[in-house]
Structure 1
Amino acid sequence: MNISQLLFNSAETYPSEAFIFFRNQSFSYEAIADQVKRKAVGFREYGIKDRSHVGLMMGNKPEYVIAYFSLLSLGATVIPINPAFKESEITYILNDSEAEAVIADEIAIEAVLKALPPVSTVKTVFSLRKEKNCVSWEDVNGMIQDFFLEDKGKEDPAQIIYTSGTTGKPKGAIITHSNLDWMSHTCAEMSEVTKDDRILVVLPIFHAYAKLQGIWQAVYKGSKVYLEERFVADEILNKIAQKKITIFLGVPTMYTLFLSNPSIKELDFTDLRIAGCGGANLPLDTLEKVNEAMGVQLKEGYGQTESTVMISCFPPGVDRKYGSVGLPLPGIELQVIDPNGREVPAGEVGEIIFRGPNAMSGYYKKEQETSETIRGGWVFTGDLAKRDEQGYLYIVDRKKDMIIRGGYNVYPREIEETLYNHPNIIECAVLGESDPVFGEEIAAYVVTKIDTSTEEIIAFCKQHLAHYKVPRKVYLLDSLPKNATGKILKAPLKNRSFQ
């Protein structure tokens, strides 16, 4: 099955129902499906075909959705590219993915054109604005009667999603048509999505989280999507209230900014039934305050690029447990293991491994990295966690982020949770620095609301943490480096490239 069939199914079932709201316009399922067919025929006339690799670099707009489904319907493999990427990052992904074409919007096109000289595979560039030596988006316009859907097998690649590259060069995770099909209906079932839901998507849809839990589950159920181009806390809060949004997808930074906005106390969020949070760890203090302020049970889950999007969540009818990311999705096997591959008892920390219909097929052109990550059919996540007696999962930290100080294992997330309880701290990141005495020393990078001394922060930690967990170094910054989804990046901090 070609996964884009889901869109055509909804267009047939709900032809006149609104699918996308953007700026002051709305687009029905039938209108979007017709555009997808026209563009698919047009792309084929310019040489895009089954198994073509095509980079897609756009911000949040209907054209992204149209281009994305058009490429999938042709049997092409989509290479989503972060529209904030710079030339060298774009060059790397286009070369690594062996892309033969790129589709860019009015903003991204300049960076794409500058990134192309070292790329030998790209033959055609499609642009939403008229550019020399590019094919204009308006000229990609075939006849609907010439459209046909390319048949695809379950294991055929649908997209190659690049990891964030926080621990090295990004790797392209191959996500299949089967992965997307299974995850679309599973996400919708876990969130009990119906055609009456109104989903607000302001996270960039190049990212798996926004694409799957925003666009795909909406398409699967015929729901409405309110597509926003940028996040401004006051504007988004008002939109949630005014448009009676039922599902909002966010990241911790967004919720932190919501809480500092006065309008959160004045607006009515009665219709909001799901406030999702992904992409990074959410401090418990923030979760509790959001639940109280918005009258919603903020919904956390756990996943990674290699899992299509999600591995665990809180299923319908299951009680939430603060600090937990829920239970494995139905159909997914999950274990927490020690370094020898043995499953650890409840309450003990180990590495998460999983297998199931959400698992990527591998990293593109990277056999060694694939064999290191997928072993015996299990995907080794590199994430440390523990499970309670009922099987609920609690993320402890990234395996590579764990600090070993004087022989003690120290988990940065635990220290970060403590720091977030300080009334003056907005954001923080904890990591290890090389130390001649202890092997590694604990360093905290902190953003505060008001002037707060490093001595005060260290004293606060001493009140709440064992002595070996207390940061000995505290750096006060105006902001922390983040990726497009708001995830704090530790590599620039470790490399001192933030200064």
Structure 2
Amino acid sequence: MPHAAPHQAGRPGGRPANRPTIEVYPVNLSRLPAARRANDPDAPAIGDDARGFLTNAAFDDLVEVCSRHFAARGITAGDIVGVKLPNRVELVAALFAAWRLGAALTPVNPTLTPSETHYQLKDCGAKLVVLDEAETDALPDALSVVTLEELARPAPTVELQRQPDDPQAGLDDLALVIYTSGSTGRPKGVELLHRNIDAMTASMIEGLGLTEADHSLLILPLFHVNGIIVSVLSPLRAGGQATIAGRFSPKTFFTVLEAARPTYFSAVPAIYAMLANLPADAQPDTSSLRFAICGAAPMPPQLIGTVEERFGVQLIEGYGLSEATCASACNPVDGLRKPGTVGIALPGQNIAIMDEDGQLVTDGSIGEVVISGPTVMRGYLGRPDETAKTLQHGWLHTGDIGRLDDDGYLILVDRAKDMIIRGGENVYPKEIETVLHDHFAVLEAAVVGRPDPVLGEVPIAFISLRNGIDLTAEKICDFLTTRLARYKIPADIIILPEVPKNPVGKIDKPTLRRGLAPSRPEG
């Protein structure tokens, strides 16, 4: 076991002493809807465009109806329920309904193809799936199906096997199976326990200072832990409320925000880039916001400054991954913020840097980012070998390359798998992307490696430009040559109307790589 001092929450720049203590609601969140109802049945809980806002009592009733429909189809403790729905209240109700019965939930991206949907549901052994409408020919055999239309009918009369009243009970039971994007192969199911969910929501509430006065606006997909944890479970556990917005559009987003009056929302860099690119006459009322969060991918410091200055909102950048339940680091809301970093370890979590020999480094050197603490997953469902590779030396190995500064703020250098070795020189795409964002015309930038018969790999840059600006690749290259060493200059710069994204909103580098043909030697 390596020995060195990792960064822990509470170091310089950390959370203030007046953050709330997390004892508002039960630690096992399967009991949350009922506990909120008992505390204040008429207080607002959650809403969407279709249903409007539900009170605590109304939401608990909806969860009970879903539970009875699930139980009538044979769902009991230890089972897995799938849900393939767009963002809406019923998806959250299905989550709590499964938990109420002692079952776990796996959310399915509603844009997946039939074969991809079949793979996920079969891989996790789901016994039931909730769908917008029936699509039985795409599903595994013997899988029960319930549609939204059926959930809207009166609840069946059925005896429920409820969980014990003890809020500590069931913490080691499986709660969520979240599937990774599959960028390194077939998607893997990340096993998250109720103990992980308890620790993660407590960490978010304390780290962000959430209280019953907070109101989140959900715009990220609910098949991902960011949407589930940051925008729904954390505010609900803190006693606050959540509004589920419809499909994100930069043209309508601020209209939705002004109507909902949330205190925060969480988004990805691509969304902030689209908002920053709105016409100059877009001057929304953002006065309800305490802060906005950026996650899922590193955000260029230049874009952070643009968003903060233009919209008058404090933008907090964080970092995390599904294997650690959601977020592990965040710039403090009420402390020192350092643009260009993803902040300090969130309460209860540890972040360190590890070298190739499995030793922790404490001199500010670059290495692999590793995480420990109660938010770390149990493992990958049915994949003990891959679990053993990821959980080593008592740490979760993220595959990200970074370093910690003197105050414990994490600076991400790149993904280990994204690093380009050009003629023996290490090239980090994120460094090139950051410099590209220094150009006033660049809206988005992504750099990937292309195979090269001589150099091994060369960097290729894909960029999109701000509205109304016309610029050549040659001009961009001239800009880079004064700011980067020659070996870091992209071999090609490709200008696109929009850089492609995956369903979570991250720039889709695997797709960009697949579209590149290997270089041909000259001559």
Query: TM-score, normalization: structure 1?
Result: 0.93
Alignment of 1:33-432 (within 5 A): 33-106=60-133, 109-110=134-135, 113-116=136-139, 119-120=140-141, 122-129=142-149, 136-139=150-153, 141-142=155-156, 146-147=159-160, 149-151=162-164, 152-262=169-279, 266-432=283-449
**Letter in structure 2 aligned against 1:341:** G
**How many angstroms does 1:302 deviate by?**
0.7
Q: State the match for 1:433 in structure 2.
A: 450
**How many angstroms does 1:455 deviate by?**
1.5
**Identity over the aligned pairs, expressed in percent?**
36
Q: State the match for 2:511 in structure 1.
A: 492
Instruction: Describe the superposition over 1:117-165 as per-residue Cα deviations: whole angstroms up to 9, x where unpaired.
Output: xx24x42111124xxxxxx223471359x55532453221101000111
Instruction: Describe the superposition over 1:6-58 as per-residue Cα deviations: whole angstroms up to 9, x where unpaired.
Output: 22211211210111232272110111111211221221111111111121111
Distance in 1, Cα, partners of 2:278 & 2:458: 36
Q: Answer yes or no: is the 8 Å Cα contact 2:316–2:333 preserved in 1.
A: no
SS across alignment from 1:432: strand
Instruction: Describe the superposition over 1:159-217 as per-residue Cα deviations: whole angstroms up to 9, x where unpaired.
Output: 10001112221111000000001111221111111112221111111210011011101
For this pair of structures, how many residues does the alignment match?
A: 484
Looking at both structures, which has the greater relative contact order when contacts are Cα pairs under 8 Å and sequence separation is at least 6? 2
**How many angstroms does 1:497 deviate by?**
8.5
Q: Answer yes or no: is the 8 Å Cα contact 2:265–2:292 preserved in 1.
A: yes
**How many angstroms does 1:319 deviate by?**
0.6
Q: 1:306 to 1:140 in 2, by over 3 A?
A: farther
SS across alignment from 1:78: strand
SS across alignment from 1:464: coil
**Letter in structure 2 aligned against 1:258:** L
SS across alignment from 1:471: coil
**How many angstroms does 1:345 deviate by?**
3.7
Structure 1 residues 415-424 or 207-216, which shifts more?
Answer: 415-424
Distance in 1, Cα, partners of 2:480 & 2:283: 35
**Letter in structure 1 aligned against 2:112:** F
Structure 2 unmatched ranges of 5 or more: 1-26, 518-523
Q: State the match for 1:478 in structure 2.
A: 497
Structure 1 residues 148-157 or 44-53, which shifts more?
Answer: 148-157
Please state if 1:446 is matched with 2:472: no
Distance in 2, Cα, partners of 1:85 & 1:264: 37
Query: TM-score, normalization: structure 2?
Result: 0.88
Instruction: Describe the superposition over 1:443-471 as per-residue Cα deviations: whole angstroms up to 9, x where unpaired.
Output: 11222244432222221211211111110
SS across alignment from 2:356: coil
**How many angstroms does 1:114 deviate by?**
4.0
Instruction: Describe the superposition over 1:373-429 as per-residue Cα deviations: whole angstroms up to 9, x where unpaired.
Output: 001321100000111111111111101101111111111011111112222222221
For the aligned residues, what is the CA RMSD?
1.9
SS across alignment from 1:484: coil
Distance in 2, Cα, partners of 1:240 & 1:264: 17
SS across alignment from 1:233: coil
**Letter in structure 1 aligned against 2:388:** S
Q: State the match for 2:6 in structure 1.
A: none
Q: Answer yes or no: is the 8 Å Cα contact 2:78–2:104 preserved in 1.
A: yes
Q: 1:331 to 1:185 in 2, by over 3 A?
A: closer
**Letter in structure 1 aligned against 2:441:** N
Distance in 1, Cα, partners of 2:317 & 2:154: 40
Q: Answer yes or no: is the 8 Å Cα contact 2:316–2:332 preserved in 1.
A: no
Q: Answer yes or no: is the 8 Å Cα contact 1:2–1:149 preserved in 2.
A: no
- Shift >6 Å, 4+ stretches: none
Candidates 4, 12, 15, aligned match of 2:38? 12
Instruction: Describe the superposition over 1:49-102 as per-residue Cα deviations: whole angstroms up to 9, x where unpaired.
Output: 111112111111111111111011111110111111111211211121111211
